């Protein structure tokens, strides 16, 4: 039983977080790759409940760390990924810069709980890497 890290990023911030976590715990890291769309298209999609077909490597481990940004109401590539996820535990690290991040995280937690046994999240203010995430991951995933 092991863990691995997945991330979706638009600006690179979630990738940086995922890389630090993967490096700290010596975990495999994989990207959720979405189609190339202009920022305005992603902004419009973030106001909808839609998912956008994205590509990713099949999850191999039982426990997963997922790093992604907080968008308006929805991050379509993440929604797509979560609706296809098969894992035991999911630790979500959500990077935010605006507002209403707890509601957003709870939405994704409830979506994930349809596919996993346990799910928790850690909110990280954009641009300020919070080292407490390491202890939180150790406690939640026992890594």
Rounded CA gap, 74 and 107, in Å? 9
Rounded CA gap, 28 and 107, in Å? 27
Q: Which residues contact 34 (CB under 8 A, 6 or more apart)?
A: 8, 52, 54, 76, 77
- In tens, the pLDDT along 63-79 reads 999 999 999 999 999 99
Q: How far, in Å, are 11, 25, 34, 42, 81 from residue 39 at the CA level?
A: 10, 33, 13, 5, 20
- In tens, the pLDDT along 28-45 reads 999 999 999 999 999 999
Range 3-141: architecture per CATH: 3-Layer(aba) Sandwich (3.40)
- The band of 124, judged by pLDDT with boundaries at 50, 70 and 90, is very high
Question: What is this structure's pTM?
Answer: 0.96
Where do the structural domains in the chain lie, given as residue ranges?
Answer: 3-141
Q: What is the mean pLDDT of residues 82-91?
A: 96
């Amino acid at each position: 039983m092991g863990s691995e890290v997945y991330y979706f990023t638009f600006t690179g911030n979630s990738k940086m977080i995922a890389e630090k976590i993967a490096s700290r715990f010596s975990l495999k890291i994989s990207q959720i790759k979405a189609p190339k769309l202009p920022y305005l298209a992603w902004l419009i999609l973030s106001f909808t409940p839609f998912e956008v077909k994205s590509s990713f490597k099949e999850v191999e481990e039982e426990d997963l760390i997922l790093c992604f940004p907080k968008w308006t109401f929805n991050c379509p590539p993440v929604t797509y990924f979560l609706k296809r996820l098969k894992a035991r535990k999911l630790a979500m690290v959500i990077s935010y810069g605006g507002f209403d991040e707890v509601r957003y995280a709870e939405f994704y937690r409830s979506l994930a709980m349809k596919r996993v046994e346990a799910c928790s999240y850690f909110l990280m203010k954009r641009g300020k890497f919070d080292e407490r995430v390491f202890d939180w991951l150790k406690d939640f995933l026992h890594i």
